Amino acid sequence: MLGLALAGGGFLLWVDQTQREGGYLKTPTERFATSSYALTRERLEVDAGGPNWIWNDSWLGKVRIRGEGASAKPLFIGVGPEAAVAGYLGRVAHADVEDINLDPFRVEYRQIAGGAPRRPPTAQNFWAASASGQGRQTVTWKVREGDWSIVLMNADGSRGVSAEVDLGAKLSFLLWVAMGLLIGGALILGGSVALIVLAARTRPPPAAPPRPATTTGDA
């Protein structure tokens, strides 16, 4: 346990100091695509539970989503409350990102059947953060507690979405977590340990009838 705590703390310190671009930890840029009307990442739950004297909302940091459409159509990127996004896309054909493998890069999509959206995403007012237009679009979202979804669409709501995307995170708590792991590893020797938990996780989907088919690659 001691070795694990020290190793974890050292790894986080290395990540915090080296794997950055403009202050953001980032992923490689990869292609996401679907022949339907939207790409989503649903069921994102941010839970910052903990005593107020320990926890500070500012520790959640920021998330940056950058995307550039692969076609001439303007691209839309948005982050919105899960319930509002579900209401907007509930009867719209779209592909939800179920899983991502980075080496080699591979995406698993869950296909949701439906038709076209009644209105384009730019006409909705529930987005917590959004951007749209030609060329590379950047959305910077200050993370807040709640249930959220990320959406990529053509700005006009048309079928066939394809974009080169990278994700970044500016986590102000990362250095402190790393130091806590290192210090915690030392404290274990004395028989005591302090634990601070951040749960920013993808919630498993609720029980439902048999799911639509899952595909890999372009959806």
C-alpha 45: how far from chain center: 10
Smallest CA-to-CA distance from 49 within 209, 200, 217 is with 200
Predicted pLDDT at 102 = 73
Task: Look at phi and psi of residue 181 and say left if phi exceeds 0, alpha if psi is from -120 to 50, else beta.
Answer: alpha
| Spans of all domains in the chain | 20-171+206-216
Average pLDDT in the 57-70 region? 80
Which CATH number is correct for 20-171+206-216, 3.40.50.720, 1.10.3720.10, 3.40.50.2020, 2.60.120.380?
2.60.120.380
| Neighbouring-strand partners of residue 167 | 65
Instruction: Please check whether residue 215 is in contact with residue 108, taking contact to mean a CB–CB distance below 8 angstroms.
Output: yes
- The type of residue at 96 is D
pLDDT band at 73 (very low <50, low <70, confident <90, very high): very high
Predicted pLDDT at 188 = 36
* Per-residue pLDDT reduced to its tens digit, 183-216: 444 433 333 333 333 334 445 555 554 455 555 5
* Per-residue pLDDT reduced to its tens digit, 111-142: 999 999 999 999 999 999 999 999 999 999 88
* Per-residue pLDDT reduced to its tens digit, 13-45: 444 444 556 777 777 889 999 999 999 998 777
**Candidate from 144-148, 150-154, 168-172, 193-197 with smallest mean pLDDT:** 193-197
- Phi then psi for 40, rounded to 5 degrees? -135, 160
Start-to-end CA distance of the chain, whole Å, equals 42
The pLDDT of residue 168 is above 90 = no
Does pTM surpass 0.75? no
The pLDDT of residue 57 is above 60 = no
The pLDDT of residue 75 is above 50 = yes
